[in-house]
Every structure is written in structure tokens, then in C-alpha cells.
Structure 1
């Protein structure tokens, strides 16, 4: 017989020892796991569970990244370093990529601001038949058409009849009513801005139609520059960490240059603001010499047509309210010819794969010229207004072949083209 021993309750010592060890081991495992679990709890109250780190606010954090409607996609555009221009000048040339707004341009910001301000003022009521009227060379109209569709309004856009077909097609596909008018001076009542204002007035005076008319008035509406002061400027400051020496951009309504300048110069008093201006525009003379035209002529009264340019979206022959609020902050101006802007557009494709519109090409010429003027080591910010896809039938048609076997034109040659004749056509106006 094997050796056996039982306790007072008839349980063998071996069994009792096994039970005791099991209890102790189980308690130890629980203690060990408690320690491990405490180590997996992070400072932000997240814990390890179900194979991943989980945070109490996970669902809320994910939802906060969801944008609401196209309005929620506007703004917070990236800032990119334009490598070719930076390498060639020794300055860091950065571009705010406004073509990444949902409507494809910087004008999304002001379209949203104008409509929301009108709603706050009780001038627009969603889904009531209200119509927004605007005179534009295209991009603001596209942005307004998009915002109007999203918010329950209709858009009526008046534009010059030589506007690129791509812009007209986009407007129509967004459901806007497009009215083309012959190019004319701003003092002509048939000029496209004046025509849009008249259409809105006519609607409001006609009791037989449903809904009211709102003239967006992008050139004079101060919601324009305020949108850039409240959003574009702060974004640039944050993205650069406040390291900006120069801000360069063109002006059509003047909202971008005024709004961004008003914000940045409060933060950076030594910042230089430089206007990039195309042929036919009077703003270059206004900044450089204090007069729009000859000193004997009053601004806004010239009745001859302006000099036309291949550039759309910037260049104007009057001081708008939006430009006026920032004009004292503009330190310098650079005139950019059509040949320079065409060559720059081609240069950016061949060196950076960057396909931009005409006003962006003007901005980049001016940014590069100013970089060479002040020397290396500075940070210059400009604006990529929109894509070249809106300029295929007009501006890009004049650019000519890109790439292929032809050697790329060096930047120095592009910037020397100012001494040659512009490709501007006389006797038709700038599309401001």
C-alpha cells in the first residue's frame, strides 16, 4: 500500500497543497494583470482593450473630423514650398494653395462670407426663391453658384463675353443663370458689374416674381476683406510659425491683399506687402505714384476702354472699398507682362508639375522678382488662386507647347521678358 495521510476532514495533504497553490496563483495573476492594465492606461484616459488603444472620446474625435457640406471644406488650405522658385532665388517661396477649396479657388472664402452675412442681415432666406446676382470674370461666380446650390438659393452671373469657356461651362453645370455682356468700362451702365446690380434691383421692384434679389457686390462688400483677415491671414501666420518677410499677391476686388495684410501686419510690423499687377490695371501706378492714371484725371471717370490682358481675375482701374481698406499697408508694386506670366506658367509645369491659372502665374513672377531684389534668406508667401483647367481656352492656349524636346527656359530669361512687347490686345477691357 502506498503511503497516505488524511487530515481531520479526510483531505489528503497533496490535494490540499494543490488547492492552495491554485488559489495563490490565481490571485497573483489578477494582481499582475492589474499592474499591467494600470501601465496601459495613458495620460489622456485611453486604455488598452479589444486589441487596441481606446480613448473615451474616440467617437467624438472622429466625428469632429467630419466636415458638414461644401461649406465645411472651405479654408485651411495647405501652404506649399515652390521648389523651383525657391532654389533659383535663394528665398523660401511659399504658396497658399487656394485651388484646393471645394469650388477650386480663393473666391470660395468670400462667396461664403457674403452669403452668410446676408443671411445674418435677413437679406436672404433659404428655399424661398431668393436669387444672388453678381458681376464677375468667372471664379467668384463659380463659388457663388456652388454656395447658392448648397444653401437653397439661385445664382445669376453676369460676365464679360470673352471669359474663358471653361468658367462659363462650370457656371452652367452648377445651375447658375449666365448672362454674357460685351466688355465695357465701369462707368458704362452695361458693364457686367453694373448689369448684375441692375438685375437685382429689377427683381426687387417686380412684385410678380417670387423671391428677392441680392447683389453680392464683391468689389465693395466688406465681408470680402474680412473673410481673409479672419481666416486666410491667421492660417498663413500659423502655417509659417510667424516667419514671413514678404506677402505678394495681385488684386481684383482687393479683398485678399487687404484682409491678409491687415492681419499679418498687426503680428509682423516689418512685413512687406507687394502688389502683383497685370497690363491695363491702374493699381500699379496708384501704389507706386499715388495716382491711378494721369494726375489731371479723376479716378473712375475714364471712358476709353482699358488695355486687355490674357490674365483673368486680377487687375482693375479703380480703387474699390476692399482695396482701399488695405492700400496704406501695400509697400510696393510689380508690373507683370503677359509674356512673363505665360512663360512662368510653362516654367511651373516643367519644373514643379504645377498647373496654375493666369493670376497665379502673375503672382509667381512678382514673388520671384522681389526675391531677387531683396536677396536670399527671406520667406515670401504668395497665393495659388486657381488651377490652369479654368484657363485652357484662353490663357493656356497662348502658352504654347510644354515640355517635349525643347529645353526649359531658365527663370532669369522669364524675368527679363519685361523689356519685350506684351501680348496684350488693345481696346478691350481688363476682366477685373
Structure 2
């Protein structure tokens, strides 16, 4: 098949069994490799959905050269840069200054203008700065993934349906997902629980944070716990939160690359750390699904 655009390749990502992890804990652990998407993450789904939604509402006009501004820790930014390039938009990304140098450079290579916020102001420093810039430039369009209903909706409409098609009659007992904007865990969990009401959905957060009690703290696991309870997050869909430590995530990323030959970013590895923490409480043979958001490539500085 010949595709007209890289955008046609978004979605339909594979699910792979984590054989070593499954054997270690006596469960059936599986991972959906969203890193196979163009741009290398699940966030390209969200970027495309938000832009198309804004176009449908007359906020953006394709090919107009309008400027989109978005606070993004990286993957949404890459998705927006990729989609925006194809659809004729300019892009300004505001990201914390403690995010990986690899991602900052990658965003610039994609053609985005990168503005760095002061991470000492908290985990939502980039969100605050983006709003300040938009106040000075009201012509800029902020899609605001933390509040945009198109974020969880694209996961209901695509990611979750792909999972249902892949699993068929096989039941999923547990879904584990990190919480940044809350979009994918909301959209996927709502849809999967409609099929399997007994399924448990667990969120993953840094050990310093306590999302369910609205307590936030500085941390350096990129992509998790953005310093607020996101508006698109359905708290009612969660059966609990699992805390992880950065050091364990780094070790899990290295272990998974060596044992499974699967490349994971830090927040993706956090999901596997979380699974290892709850595995002892699960029935033997339980089916546990999680997502890989991106690969280790953008986090190599963590391993030096």
C-alpha cells in the first residue's frame, strides 16, 4: 500500500507480550507499542485529533499559517510539529527547562520554536508561561490538551477500539497507565470497562505525588503528574494509583531493553514498574495491559 501522507500511518499499533515479565510474575503482561506511531508516541493521535477538532469548529484554517502555542513536555509537541507541518501551521512549544536536551533538539529539528519555562516554578511552569504568552498574542491558538475533550475522545475512538479488536474474546483484567494529561487512561479505561466491567484501571504517578488527594510535588519523571488534576481526567474510572521511583523506572527501562528487546522511555518503564508492584496481588494468569508511549532514545542523558 502507498500512503499519501505520514498522517495515514497513525494508529493500529501492535500489542506484544512481555515474555520475561510475564514469566517472572506469573501473569500475562502485554504492552501496546504506541512508539510505532509517526513521531514515536501516542501523542500524535491527540495532536491530529485536536487540530482537526479546531478546524471543524472554525478556530483553525488548514494552510493558513496560523500559530499554535502549546505547553508540552515533548511528545505532544512532536506530534503537533509533525501534524502542523503537514497541515500548514506554525508551532510554538513551551517546555520546562529540565526536560531532556535530546527532546528539545528534536522539537527544533521538527521546525517548532521552543520556549523554555523555569522548572523551579513547579511542574506546570510551562503551562503558566504558555498562557502568559497567549495573553500577549491573542491571535495564537492554544489547543490545551489538559482541557481539550478531543484528547480522551481520540483514545475512545481509536486506541481503545484497536485494543478491543486485538483481544477479541480474551478478557483484560487490569489496565495500567501513567497520568499526565489523563487523556489516554480516561478514554481507554472507559471503553474497556464498558466491555469488561470488572476490569481494574490503575494510574501511575511519581512517588512524591498524590493525585487522588490533589497533592503535587516536583519530580523528574517526564510525562507524569503535571502539577494539576487535568480537566479531561475521569477520576471515577480509576481503581487506584501506583507510586513509582525514578531510579526504578531507569532500571526497568534498561532491564526491558535487555530482556525483551523493547525500547521504553521513562514514563513507559514506569508502567512496568507499577505492574511489578501489583503483580503479587493478582490472580495467577491475570491479563494485564499497558502502553509504551515512546522509546529510550529521547532519554539517553538519564543513563549517563
TM-score (norm 2): 0.95
**2:130 is equivalent to residue 199 of structure 1:** no
Normalized per residue, the structure richer in strand is 2
Aligned to 1:124: 60
Contact 1:186–1:194 (8 Å) recurs in 2:
no
Match among 207, 230, 234 for residue 279 of structure 1 = 207
Aligned to 1:379: 287
CA-atom RMSD in angstroms:
1.7
Where does 1:218-297 land on structure 2 (aligned, <5 Å)?
218-242=145-169, 243-283=171-211, 286=212, 291-293=213-215
How far does residue 134 in structure 1 lie from its aligned partner after superposition?
0.5
* Partner Cα distance (1:355, 1:77) in 2: 15
* Partner Cα distance (1:185, 1:254) in 2: 22
Contact 1:106–1:385 (8 Å) recurs in 2:
yes
* Partner Cα distance (2:230, 2:299) in 1: 25
Match among 323, 326, 346 for residue 254 of structure 2 = 346
Contact 1:158–1:178 (8 Å) recurs in 2:
yes
5+ residue gaps in structure 2?
none
Contact 1:250–1:359 (8 Å) recurs in 2:
yes
Match among 74, 88, 100 for residue 138 of structure 1 = 74
Aligned to 2:142: 215
Q: Which has the higher relative contact order, 1 or 2, with Cα contacts under 8 A spaced 6 or more apart? A: 2
Aligned to 1:84: 20
How far does residue 261 in structure 1 lie from its aligned partner after superposition?
0.8
* Partner Cα distance (1:334, 1:342) in 2: 17
TM-score (norm 1): 0.68
Aligned to 2:231: 321
Moved over 6 A (4+): none
How far does residue 222 in structure 1 lie from its aligned partner after superposition?
1.1
5+ residue gaps in structure 1?
1-64, 205-211, 294-301, 398-432
For the pair shown, the structure with the greater C-alpha radius of gyration is 1
Distance 1:382 1:214, change over 3 A: same
Where does 1:350-369 land on structure 2 (aligned, <5 Å)?
350-369=258-277
How far does residue 185 in structure 1 lie from its aligned partner after superposition?
4.3
